[in-house]
Structure 1
Amino acid sequence: MNKFINSSIVTTRGLKCLSSFSFQNQQNQNIISELNGIEMVIKLMNNFQYKNEIQQFGFEFLQIICANNKKIRNKIIELQGIELIKKGIKNFPDNQRIQLFISFLIKFLEIENEIFDYSNTNEVDQEENQIKNRILKGIEEVIKEMNESPTSRITQFYCCSALSYFDFQNEENKKKIKELQIIKVIIRAIINFKNNEDIQESITGALMNIVYDNKRNENEIKEMEVNERIISTMNKFENNQEIQENGIRCLLNLSFDNKENVNKIRETNGIERIISTMNKFENNQEIQENGIGCLLNLSFDNKENVNKIRETNGIERIISTMNKFENNQEIQRNGIGCLLNLSFDNKESVNKIREINGIKRIISTMKQFENNQGIQRNGIGCLLNLSFDNQKNKNKIRKGKGIEIIIQTMNNFKENNQEIQRLGCGALWNISIDNEKNQENIKEMKGIKTVIEMMNKFEDDEEIQEYGCGVLNNNIIIMNENNNDISLEKEITETQVIERIIIAMKLFTNNKEIQYQGCCCLKNLAINNNNNENKDKIREKKGIEIIIKMMNNFPEIQVIQNQGCETLWNISINNSINQKEIREMKGIETIIQAMRKFPNNKEIQENGCGSLFNIGFENGNETEIEKMKEIGIILPAMKQFPKNKIIQYYGCRILLNSSFNNQENQEEIREMKGIETIISTMKEWINDKEIQYQVFDALNIISYKNKRNQKEIRKLKGIEIIISIMNKYSNDKGIQYIGIRILWNIGFDKKNREVIGEMKGIERIISAMKEFENNELIQEKGCGALMNIIFDNNNNKNKMREIEGIKTIINVMNKFPDHEKIQENGIRTLFNCIFENEENLKEIKRMKGIETIISTMKIFEKNEEIQESGISILWDIIIKNQENKEEIERFEIQKLIQKAIQNFPKNETIQKWKNKF
């Protein structure tokens, strides 16, 4: 104002602001005085002594600021305020408001005798004197006069006009409202003169100050139906700007922190009235300012009012007013406050605000008034509400630079406004949920660093810790989705995210959201199999302990149990120290407890299976898992969720581990119909090679040296399915290898051998051996499986010859002459082939198998199995036939047998040949 001292527009608006700032605010009055504001105002009034508005707002300001301050009253007199008053009386005799403000000023300055000469009634207008005289007499006399002449239009008009200028914020005057029954007196006037526009105007002017303290006069307001009377008057005189101004100011005061009045205003269509008035007088700044203030009060924590405001196009009105008066700080502050209330947990309002560019308005206001804490706080609160579960709004906020303004505000007020930090963290959390672009934007704006800084600074603030964990969780997810974003990972390390999360979880063990979000963060930090650095740090900072404690603290909350299981799974992958730590912290027991408690929760069963599988790798953990009877947990999960790949995959792996070299567990699996479950999995997932690997592995271990399980597989048609899957994945050496091993195991059972032969299992094995002719393991296990399958089964023996199985065995033995196991299994298979089967004898001889057998016996002369089977074959093919004496000599068979007899003196089968030569 000092800078633009010659501008009447700046002066007018400045004086109005000073009046608003100083009204009922002693602190602001003192600041204005200290800054020489009074001197400036009087100077400006003298400069513009004929400007109506400047004089009006100037006198209004002076009478407000001096009312309760003797020091300021003296200063006004010293600055020739009396001369200024005389000029005002003379220059504006017809301006009622100027004259009324002057009358107050005269009373406060106690200069009545210096101003008026009552002998000269022409100096001031008689009507104005009527009001001034009443003001000077005091409140008691005014009310007395109104009571004495309740039907006098003139009396009621002047008295109500006088009442509008008394300071009812003064404690003494506040008491008089009740003592003198002022509200009752005024309402009587409203009723008596309901059709008199002038009186209604003066009454509403008086009421707006009288009802300021609505709590103290609550009973009178209710009894006299003040809300209804004001709204009725506003409806009746909807074109009277003064009544609308006064009425809205009344409703503003009545609705402040008073739920009963707030509801009553809605019930009597007050919301419609306020919005209608704002629409009609859209250029009236005072109406817009107070109207938005009303809507702010009415919408606070009141869902019915929120819906009514939205349905009456109140959101459109608020945003339109904010756009029109974008430089009015009060309108912007209250407007954003309204939008904050309206957007809380109200999807319809949230969408409406976006549709009419409310997000743009909010962000624009925050940018313009970046130093106004109220605007920044409510603005961030709005963005928090608007972004909740609303992707369109999240994108709109990002595009409007809203993320940038949130982070900037948090940094600007990090020293002195905890609420802004709280809301900022909450907004960033909402904005970043399931929105990769927003997560990227937060990272670019150094938002993670800001959040961590606030979490460190306000360590004891539960909400900041909760929202902060949520922000970190959302933004750590993007690191994993973007193939380990190096820059983000570096920021996470530098800002000590792991430490911060674990501290929050330790401090607020009873806060479900902190525990859940914190646990999610730790899971995502450990999710990369190769990120052992994070996994180790989580353990070192007691993160494993806090996760298990969380699961035990919230045993009934499924999402926490699920997240705990999943986090322990990730932390334990390829990390034996963490696997051991989980066992020592009773984590195995906690996981199994969760799986038992929630058998129908797919995610818990899934993550539980994954966790138990990983943890079981560490020495000692498998025993601990067994103690907890994990078979009784895993099998029900597999049965309950047959279509869940993870449960089936890890379920089979756990059954495999638990039954490895453990006859008791193998028996338990069968008794609990586990073999049936595994075979069902094979059928359900026939097109999934990964699952088939696990199923085959499990059946291989479960059937190993277990006759009951071998028979059970047959009874459940498992042999047919195994061979079918081997045929389906004939080019996969892994499935062929494990399948052959299973057939070897179950081939110990006579009936199983028959089924394998009938289902063309021999053909499958021979085909695999041919397909993978260079794979030593397949050749070794193939020979072993065929050895069992043809034992004591002439049909299978004949099939070996018919499908070139004998030829295949001999070829394999020739290809791997130094592989002892292949030679051992091969020679034993050939022995089983010829037992009581002359045609196979001839086939071996025809395929030059004798040379192969003799070569094997010479190479592995210390292998008892090879020597025993070799001698038995040679006897049947050569020795017992006298015509083969030349071959006996040529192959030096006698010498070979004698060496075996010498090497294995305790082998009865070999020794029986001793006396046959």
Structure 2
Amino acid sequence: MRNSSKEIDSNRKIKNKKSNKKSNQKSNKKSNQKSNQKSNKKSNQNQNQNQNQKSNQKSNKKSKKKSKSKSNQNENQIQKISFQEIYSKEKSQKIQISKLYQFPPQELNKFLICELLSNYKKMFQNEENCDFIIYAGKNNQKIPCHKSILNSRSKFFYENHHEKSEIEELYLPQFEYDIVKSIISFLYDSEFKFDLNKFEKYFQLSKDFKLTSLTIKIEKEVSEQINKKNVIPIYFKSISIESNYLSNICENFIKENINKIIEEKQIGSINNKELTEIIQLIQSTPKENRINLIWKLAQDWKNKFKQSNKNLINKEKYIDPIQIQEINNEIQDFHLIIDNIKNEGFISNNSRIQNNPILSPTDQLQLINQKNEELNQENKKLKKKNKRQDKIIQQKDQEINQFKQSIQQKENKIQKQKNKIKEIKPQLEIFESEIKVHKTLEDFINQISNLNENSIEETIKYMKQCPNNQKIQENGCFILQKFANKNEDNRNKLRNLKGIKRVIKAMNNFPNNQDIQYQGCSALWVIVKHNNENKIEIRNLKGIEPIIKAMNNFPNNQDIQYKGCGALWNIGVNNENKIEIRNLKGIEPIIKAMNNFPNNQNIQYKGCGALLNIGDNDENEIEIRNLKGIEPIIKSMNNFPNNQDIQYKGCGALWIIGDNNENKIEIRNLKGIKPIIKAMNNFPNNQDIQINGCGALWNIGDNKENKIEIRNLKGIKPIINAMNNFPNNQDIQYYGCGALWNIGVNKENKIEIRNLKGIESIIKAMNNFPNNQDIQEKGKRALEKLQKN
């Protein structure tokens, strides 16, 4: 309705201006015709020219006013469109968009801001996609909202969500629901209304949320509503919330309107706190004006009490002069006035105000001077007494000093005895702890001396009860290892009773105890044996890390290195565990152990086995090469040519690691093809070595130079021998066909294979296993290559 009335007024103005313009134009034309018909004198011509200039200026002004009125009309039309048509749901979307093209850029920006705020408001009201909840009031009423809006508008929410992104709730029981909701709504649409009687709560919450603009807005709106009736409560509230802006405005208002404020509010209704603040306010005035101000206050209060017989001061709301003196000793002028009021009968519950006059300021000053003189005389008397007391005190001080010296001597003797006790105490504590350890160990040994089904529970129970007893932890790991090595059921039972957790904790609690580290690695090695669930459990309990730490902390302890390599070998079967071992840098200590103990067959065997299992991963293959882990495998095979286990795991490790092209080159450069061929020739009846040897030569032979190297080292013959010696072993036949297929690309190699009757071996394998698709496929490909020249 307001917009439509404004448009009507503007249209009326435009019509009036047009009519005035037409009338002025007609009058100008007539005047110009008459002036032209008159005399042709120069003076008249000049006058006519001046008149024409004036008329032209007037017409220009009117044309400018007309253009302004048109622009105002357009602006009004734009406002009408923006608030009535654009937001109207009845009109089509096409009409709304076409109206937008009429907007100037500045007005279009205003419209877009209004539209954005209205959308935010709808989003808040509809509670769409809310990801944060605020509980307000004593009943914890919900206010759903959005983290993104809160973070963008409030530093408080941004800082809290930035530090702890998982926070999704906030409890504000100390603030009323309506107050919290109005402030949160302000964050969405920048609209804010508040109750003046509760402005301090709105201010405090906006301050807590670090909304500087809102606190300033509240202060300004409150300051505009200050009057004689509410200035005092607003003043006290502004002090309680530490608003210097409001308190300063209130103080200035009180100083300027003190008499009117007294008329509005009776002294009997002012409580202790309010009266104290008024007194402090009076104290802040200059000293030369303070007495006159206080005098006026007292006279106004007394005259007001004379007019009413009911205005009696209650005991609870009256401030006694002694209390006022405690508040501030500097306002003695006001004390005298209060004393006079007290003498006049204001304090008694049943008395009424009498007509006795209050002392004038000059009389008050005289009384003050008299009291000051009396105080000076009393001070002189006190000084004399103090001198006498000082002498007595000095004598007593001397006696006390002598007594202190004697006490000090006794304390020195006691301290010497304490030092002796301190020297003996550690030895006693060690002795007592050893006794306790022996007692617990005796109980522990007695309980598990006869190993049975209940011994697992007893062992885990003692390890849990005595986490700081190293002997129990060591023996516990040993006993759990023995149980786990018996059968699969015990290994599952250990997992279910959280025995794995106890072993890992023992290793973590005593990282410098070699015995516990050895027994812990041994236990974890055996617990994961042929048990995939235990492998996963160790990774979930972060049990791989203490094994690696033990190997790094004790690099010269062969037993720990042996057990550590064995544990990582078994645990490294699982693909996720392979990745975890690499991430924890567990490959490096295996390689170091093999390099540090080249003559220890057990470490070499477990090291090759660990690298075989862990290396079955593309990234791990690269990591082993980068850490120069291929060389110790080849060295161990060369150092122990008669150890079938090392030859078996060595061939397997080179087979797996040789899958990478750069690793193939590295194996050839380190002369790693030769020990594979030697192993196959030395143990022609060992099927495992023959399988891994054929697999290794297949992988490593997938390289031009390596094919030549295998032929030069006479490596084709052991492949064909293996196929001939184990015609019923499908794995040997499959990997043998694959190796001959890869190696047979070279012409010289083809001739070598034909001469060694390798083609017949391939045909036999295909005839013996007609249903094995893998052997059939590899055999056909090998024959196709060998038949080509």
Please indicate the TM-score interval, normalised by the length of the shorter structure. 0.3 to 0.5
User: TM-score, normalised on structure 1?
Assistant: 0.39
- Considering Cα pairs closer than 8 Å and 6+ residues apart, tell me whether 1 or 2 has the greater RCO: 2
User: TM-score, normalised on structure 2?
Assistant: 0.45
Answer with 1 or 2: which has the greater Rg: 2
